[in-house]
Structure formats: structure tokens, C-alpha cells
Chains A and B, each alone.
Chain A
Amino acid sequence: MRARGLPGVPKPTVGQLRGVCTWIVVGVGWMETAPKPGRDVPPKNVKFQSKKKKPRRYWEEETTPTAAAASPGPPGNKKRNRELRPQRSKKAYIPKKSRISKKPQLPKKPRERRNPEPERSLSGAQDPFPGPAPVPLELAQKFCRIDKSKKLPHSKSKTRSRLEVAEAEEEEISVKAARSELLLAEEPGFLEGEDGEDTAKIRQADIVEAVDIASAAKHFDLNLRQFGPYRLNYSRTGRHLAFGGRRGHVAALDWVTKKLMCEINVMEAVRDIRFLHSEALLAVAQNRWLHIYDNQGIELHCIRRCDRITRLEFLPFHFLLATASETGFLTYLDVSVGKIVAALNARAGRLDVMTQNPYNAVIHLGHSNGTVSLWSPAVKEPLAKILCHRGGVRAVAVDSTGTHMATSGLDHQLKIFDLRGTFQPLSARTLPQGAGHLAFSQRGLLAAGMSDVVNIWAGPGKASPPSLEQPYLTHRLSGHVHGLQFCPFEDVLGVGHSGGITSMLVPGAAEPNFDGLESNPYRSRKQRQEWEVKALLEKVPAELICLDPRALAEVDVISLEQEKKERIERLGYDPEAKAPFQPKPKQKGRSSTASLVKRKRKVMDEEHREKVRQSLEQQAQKQEKKAMPLGPRPSALDRFVR
């Protein structure tokens, strides 16, 4: 279950730590930056007061220090403001060593700006809320890219100060981004039952009746009994919907305006359907081969190297179409150049459960032996294998933050796994029939299709996993569920079933505020074209897919050390080694040979003592580990326990 290293990933190597290291943002002294009202604030006040009190000379006239009295406002209020203002704590920028603080530092400016005394305007009125608006800590945390748990490496003072500056910059950026949250226009939807009312009892018809006309129009049923169970897919902007029936019916429409773009019958079984990067291209997995159509329904390509495809996934930032086939191959097709990037043999028989992790573009495959394997096109072997179920895996879904994976198996279990390193199940629940299809929404709602019923579970927040205790909504359809997807940026769940397509209303499912440059539902043709060019320019190469998408910004410590070793070998000595202590000769008369030796010995002893202390500490730690109480006798079967 360990992630394997990626051979193809270029990383910064070399003793580049000496260069500008803006790309390593490592948290240090972060603990100190968090506001500590108990320790931090009072001394500040003391300092301010002392600043105000100017020493009066005997020749000066006696003036009452009104400035101090004029300092205003409810003190409690002010203090709270300061506490809320998160990372501006003074301590963060004053490193302990004085020689570091010599550096010109960026954070100086904000410190000056934050005047302790509120400025008075001409009229004499004073600003009751001086300074920039406070930002809640959690909000700034959301935008912060620094890992605070990591310590700053023990490096040269120059590097260290650079890192500190970069860190302060990063911090300021996160505060600014958090402040811009205020400008977001839309609020997410919600559904609440009146005291004790179970929201799962609320029917779609009730919701449709209660909401406005525009929202009510989003609920519709397409009665298509003839061409049998449907798979469906929304485009990335959430504006377009494509669906394909088992008996060859393929259609694409702008589902908001209900304008049909194309409708064809491919006269062949359709296994899966997927929009490519924009709504203009459509990939359809047909009985034998993979076909690509444009939005007029004209067949553009027939890709015979991908045959008998069961499931399709499109990785939009890599322009890769991942296909899982009956023959057990996972094939990655680069749709921007039309080349097959990788064809991986999963060695697990027929593949018909596939999903992508939108956070890191890793493909999750569910197998009939109850495992889920994680794949990247750069590696021939799975990055990880997770044993999830006793019995085959029926469906897998990963949420948009990439932290939770939901799986359902033939053992009728629905489990939610933590994908951050441990791959442990967080919660599990047995469903009477077991879920055949799973989907996560943008705000973390989980939908499961169980024969002709769709259940939706919601969690307390966006980042937390959905609690499987009580469903948030349920809906019974006119046929068995065959495909599920939440529409991006709309509170809508699309369900493809044997009776056609149903568009369900799920309040609170979608992210209310889209980013216009990323995926804009209201974009014009020109904007789409421009976006397409930009997206193609920054197409991420397939080799960069790995479990941690931020790995590219980290220092490649292994090759760094390797290079250091090679350098020492080449030069014959270590150029960065610490020179042995040589006492400096002192003033005349004091630097006798004996005293020199004595001073030298003193330093050596100190170093030696430090070493002994460290080794003792290590020993103690080791013993502690050994002394850890062992539970019952470990069994070989423990590894399968979840």
C-alpha cells in the first residue's frame, strides 16, 4: 500500500538550496505566528504606552500628555480585533539571530501601517475600525499553501532569511485571498426540515413547488424507454449534458436552455460517454471501438487501438482520456495530439469500475477481488492497492478535494476511505441492496444509486466526509440506475436509468461561485476559444501525475544528498565542512599557549557533550518505542483487518 516513487518527475536537485528558494515554502516558527493573546499582546500594549510617554525635559513647558488619554474606543473591542488579525504577529518577522534580521524585509510595511493609535480625520471623528479588516484564521488557513507542521531545514542564514521572507509573502497572500472571499456573490443552497422533519422524506415534487421557477425548470425527466439504460455526463462548466443509451442512442444538449445540439443513433451498444475538454467534443465508448464525435454528431475519429471499452474518464488538465477495457487494459489517450500515452495492464480481469481523483488525476480502478488500485500513466504498476471489500467492488467515487473515497461492493457495504496517506476506512454502512453507482458533488455530498433508488448523504461541512447515518435526500426513479453525476455549479444531480434521464434537485450540492477563468458556465464562444488555447498551453504532461500533485514544488532531498556526496568525492574534501575551532589571539598578554589550549578544549568538550546528549536522547526514544505495550499476539491475518 505504499506509494511508489515516480521516475519521470523532474525535480529540482543540486545544491540549489543556495539559490533563491521561493519554491520551497516550508513552515517554520509558525507556531509563533499564531496569535497568543496571553503572551503576545500585553507586552505590545506596554510598548505602545511607553512610546507615547515622552520624557519631559526640565526646560520644556508642562503639557498634559493628552495623546494617551485620547486613545479611544472600547479597549476590549480593539484587543479582539488584534487577536483576529491572524498572522501579523510581530514575532514572526524578527528571527532570533540578529544577523538574519539585517536583511531588508518585506513585512516591514504592514507593521508600519498598523498604527496603534487610530488616526483622526480633519473633523476630529475617528475611525471606529482602524486598520485593514480582520480575517478569520480558518479562512486564511484555507488559502495557505505552507505546510506548517514541517520545520525549516537547518540551513545557512542567507537561505533561511530568504525562506522567511518567502513565507511571510505567502502568508500575506493567503490573507489577501481570504479577504477577497467577501466579494463572492452567491450563497450555497440548503434544505432544512422544520423541527424534527426528516429531509429524506421530502419529495422532489415538494422541492419543485417550493423553489423559484428558474430552479424548478432544472428538474425534468426524459422518458426514453426505447433505448435502454443511459449513461450521462455533464461538461466541465455544467452547461451541457451528453447521454448515451445502451441501444445506441447518443444525444448532447444544453440542458439549461434545453437546446438539443445533436442526436444520433450509432447503431451499436454504447457503454459510456464523456465530454472532452470542451462541449464541442464527445467521446463514446461503443461496442467495439472508441469513437469521437463533435457537437453536431459528426464522427471525427474512430480509435481502434482502444477496443471494447467499458468506462471512460477524462483528465481535463492533462488532456488525457483514460479508458478501461474488458481486456483488462487501462489506456491513456492524449486527445490533444491523438497519441496513446500509456497502456497499462491491470492484470485483474475485466475492468468496469473506474473513477478519477480530481485532486491528483490518479485513476482508481475497482476490481472483482475487492481491491481498488490507483494508477498513474507514468508507472507500470499501481501506485497503491487498497483492499476495500470482501467481494467485488461495484462502484468507486472520489470527492473534489481528493481526501475521501467512497466505495461500494458486492458485500452490500458502502465505505468511505481517507486518501491522505493512510487509506483507512473512516465510516462504513451496510445497505440493503448495495450501491451500484456512486458520485460526489462539489460540496461533498455523496449520491448512491441502488437499483431504482437514489440516496444522497451530506456531511457537516465541505471538507468533512458525508455521514452515512441518515440520508439527506432520497428519490425513486422509474427504472434501474445506470449512471450518476452531479452537475458542476448547479444544485442538480443527473441520473441515467433504464427509463431515461432524470434531473434531480439537490439543494446545496454545488459550489455557488465559479471562477470565470477556470470554468465559466456563461462563457461566450470567444471566451471558450481563448480558454482552450490557454488550457492547451499549460497542458500538464502525463508523467507528472502522482499521488501528491504538489510534489513538484518540493526539494528533491535524495538527489541533493547524492550530488553532495559525489561532489565531495570529486573534490577530495568536503567544501562545506565546519572548520575545527581555532581560538583567536586575544589582547596582548592574555593569549598564552596554555589559555589558547584551554579555550580550544572548552569548545571541544562542549561539542562532545552535545553529541553525548543527543545519543542519549535517541537511546531513550528507542527504549520507549520498545516498551510500548504490545496488544494481543499479532496474527498474520491482521493485515486484512479494516
Chain B
Amino acid sequence: MKVKMLSRNPDNYVRETKLDLQRVPRNYDPTLHPFEVPREYMRALNATKLERVFAKPFLASLDGHRDGVNCLAKHPKSLATVLSGACDGEVRIWNLTKRKCIRALQAHEGFVRGICTRFCGTSFFTVGDDKTVKQWKMDGPGFGEEEEPLHTILGKTVYTGIDHHWKEAVFATCGQQVDIWDEQRTNPICSMTWGFDSISSVKFNPIETFLLGSCASDRNIVLYDMRQATPLKKVILDMRTNTICWNPMEAFIFTAANEDYNLYTFDMRALDTPVMVHMDHVSAVLDVDYSPTGKEFVSASFDKSIRIFPVDKGRSREVYHTKRMQHVICVKWTSDSKYIMCGSDEMNIRLWKANASEKLGVLTSREKAAKDYNQKLKEKFQHHPHIKRIARHRHLPKSIYSQIQEQRIMREARRRKEVNRLKHSKPGSVPIVSEKKKHIVAVVK
């Protein structure tokens, strides 16, 4: 007879002293872990609930401006520095870690229309209602010196926007035409127009640095190549585009913030159909900015809220609002992709977390592991109705909520009418136009 009984030595399973860690032997055999799926589902549900519990995105409000904040700019080299221009012509430079204004200067008379930093971070440019372009040093004036711009360019017309080239000493302004300037000269290198309308914003492409995009109030978005004297092509939409933003990771992709409450992501090679139409805002979208990862962007709207959209989704994943925040005019995603800043009508700049339930500060390795595990679980079970409902739920102010309802009814009525028209006409006579194509009027080359 040969016999062996299961006989464990307790010393192998119990810690030796109280100072040791407990011994936890693992066995991954699936039969020892029954109900794997339901238990994971419950964990995912709990993780989703906790995510909503910990969703406290608002970090700080920077006050100091004496009029509505009209434009924001990031410092290219310092994460903690932010520049803002207000409607009374004042420019302020903020330190985000201290949450304090470190410098204030009266840059223009009337609005500061646009502000941008030089790629090296030593100086910045502003344009204002007083028809000037001014270049300023990033550092404040020394003791006894006066606050003065490095250069001032007097123009003939009002400039409404400015953007600096990402690599060279060249910047572009827009107003009645798009002007491209050399920093050393007082006359533009070239001026480009297409039609006669005021252009509201101009943006350099961060990857293909010679490309520019601009949007004008005659409802079109025009693309330029700096090396050519003439514009490349333009797309005409249903309504005016307020601003555009290039995807920092994909050279051809840009997103346009439109007056018709939507955002349109275009591939510049095929402008006749937007890659995605992003709907959710209930009023005109005023500004848009990409996260440095190029996966998401944030949009600011006249409806007193900001929303975060994934690039490939038509609906927003997040909406931020507070009682005191008025129409949001400008928004920026910080370069570490963790925070969002927005400047609004009521003179404040607000700092938000990009990921509402994220824990700030250093995480221990166990915290990190738990976070990753929960993230994976949430991803795995995200389509289950119960979990989806909890993850999607957001509290909205009554004005936005009722407007959403109202617009839903309107959209439904339009759709019904379309379906009826389709039903009662000869097959093929009424074309089916997709939502993407509906808002594009024409593409001109």
C-alpha cells in the first residue's frame, strides 16, 4: 500500500512574526474562482459607482480680471504658466501651482482679441481692437523699467486672431485677410484672402507646420499653405464656424466649433464629409482645444458649459458646469493633458481636471494597480445597460436640460417629416442624406 495524505506545514502558510506580511498563496485554477463573470460585473458596477462618487472635477478659480476673459494661451515650456487676455485690454500671466496672478499688463485699448506665445517661451504676441499687434517679453520689466512691448505693429484694420508658427519666427494674424508676418518686419510677408469677410481665427498646423486653417464669418473654413501665395481649399458649412483646432497627433485632422451647436472633425484631404459630427451642446460652440494625446478635445460653449469629446465619438463623455460660470469664451487643455482651463464672461478662469474622478498626487503602487484593474473592468462591462446608465448620468443645470429636451423634440419632428416624405414619394426620388453630409454646403478648391 502506498499512501500520501495532504499534509500542510502551517509554517509555510502563516507569517513568522507580526512584523512580516501575511502570506497569501495564490492558485489561479478557474474552479477555485467560481462566478468569475458575475463577480467581475459587480466589481465593475462598484467601480463605476465610485467613479461617480469621486467625480469632483473643479479645482480652482483664478480671479483678477476686471472684464470677461477673451483668450487664453499656454506657455510652451512651463506647465504652470498661463496667459489670458480680457475684454478690457488687460493681459494677465498666472501661476497655476500658486493659483495666483504673477503679472498684469494693460496691452491694448478695447478687447484683447488674440494671444499666442512664441515656441521658445521667451515672448508672446497679442492683438487687440486698437489695430495693433504687440510682442511682449515673458519676463516682467526690471526694477525701474516701464512695461513696454518689444515691438508694436500698427495695422490698417482690426485683427481678430493670432497664431505663431510652431518652429520658425513667423506668425499669422487674421482680420479682413490672413496675414503672415516675419517677426523682424513690420509688413506682412504675404496676405491671403478668399472672399470679403472677416476671419475670426487662424491656426497653424502643429505637425505640417506650413499649413494653416482659418474660419470666416461667411460660413467657410479655408486652408492655406504658407509656401503658396493662394489658399488651398475651403469648405462651406451651414453656419458660421467660430474657431478650429488641429489635432496635435494626426496631421490631417482638425475640429471646427460651429454656431449650429455642433463640432465637426474634418480630414483635410476629404472635406466633403466630416469624419465625425459631435453633438451635445445646446448653444453655439465658441472654442475648442485638443488634448496633447490627440484622442480627445474640449469645447466651450455659449450654453455656459464645457464638454469633453472623444475624437471618434459623436457624443461627449463629460460636461462641466458650475452655477457661477457664464458663457465660456475660451478653453485650453494643458500640455500635461491632465487639466483643462476655461475663461468665461464673468471674469474668471477656471481650472478643471480632465478626468473628473482622478486622484491627484502621487499614487502608491497598490493604488495604481487597483486603479488600472478597475479601469479595465469598467471598460469590459461598459455596454451593460445598468453600468452604462450610471456611467453616463450627469447632472445638468435646468436651462441646459430643458433645452436638450426641446431640441430633441425638434429633431424628432424633423426626422418624422423626412421619413414621411420618404415613404410617400417615388422610391429613389428623395435622397437620403446622412447627418454628416447634411451640414456641408460645398467644397471649393
Contact = CB atoms under 8 A, between A and B. Distances in A.
Interface stretch (B19-27, B131-139, B247-255): B19-27
Interface stretch (A75-83, A92-100, A203-211, A368-376): A203-211
24 contacts: A10-B386, A11-B384, A11-B385, A23-B381, A180-B28, A185-B25, A190-B3, A192-B1, A211-B3, A215-B7, A358-B34, A513-B29, A514-B25, A516-B23, A517-B24, A540-B35, A540-B38, A549-B38, A550-B36, A551-B37, A570-B415, A571-B419, A572-B418, A575-B434
Kindly state the interface size class of chain B when it binds its partner: 35 or more
B7 A211 contact: yes
B42 interface: yes
Contacts of A181: 28
A553 B432 CA distance: 37
Contacts of B2: 190-192, 194
A540 B386 CA distance: 14
A185 B32 contact: no
Nearest to B25: A516
A619 interface: no
Interface in B418-445: 418-419, 422-423, 432, 434
B34 A359 contact: yes
A518 B26 CA distance: 9
Contact of B26 (A23, A516, A540): A516
B421 to A, nearest CB: 9
B380 interface: yes
B13 interface: yes
Interface of A: 10-14, 16, 19-20, 22-23, 142-143, 145, 177, 180-181, 183-194, 197, 199, 202, 206-207, 210-212, 214-215, 218, 317, 358-361, 400-401, 489-491, 505, 507, 510-518, 520-522, 524, 527, 537-541, 544, 549-553, 570-573, 575
Given A142-B29, A552-B37, 17 more contacts: A12-B385, A22-B379, A181-B28, A212-B7, A215-B5, A317-B35, A401-B31, A505-B5, A507-B3, A510-B6, A515-B27, A517-B24, A522-B14, A540-B35, A549-B36, A573-B422, A575-B434
Given A514-B32, A515-B26, A539 B1 contact: no
B380 A22 contact: yes
Given A11-B384, A19-B382, A515 B33 contact: yes
A549 B37 contact: yes
Nearest to B423: A572
Interface in B2-61: 2-8, 10, 12-14, 22-39, 41-43, 46
Given A507-B4, A538-B46, A552 B31 contact: no
A317 B3 contact: no
Most-contacted residue by chain B among A358, A359, A491, A522 (CB, 10 A): A522
B383 interface: yes
Interface of B: 1-8, 10, 12-14, 22-39, 41-43, 46, 379-386, 415, 418-419, 422-423, 432, 434
Contacts of B22: 524, 527
Nearest to A489: B6
A518 B42 contact: no
B3 A515 contact: no
B1 A538 contact: no
Contacts of A143: 28, 30
Nearest to A211: B5
Given A142-B30, A143-B28, A537-B46, A512 B382 contact: no
B1 A197 contact: yes
Nearest to B9: A214
B5 A212 contact: yes
B1 A317 contact: no
Contacts of B432: 573
Contact of B39 (A211, A400, A515, A538): A538
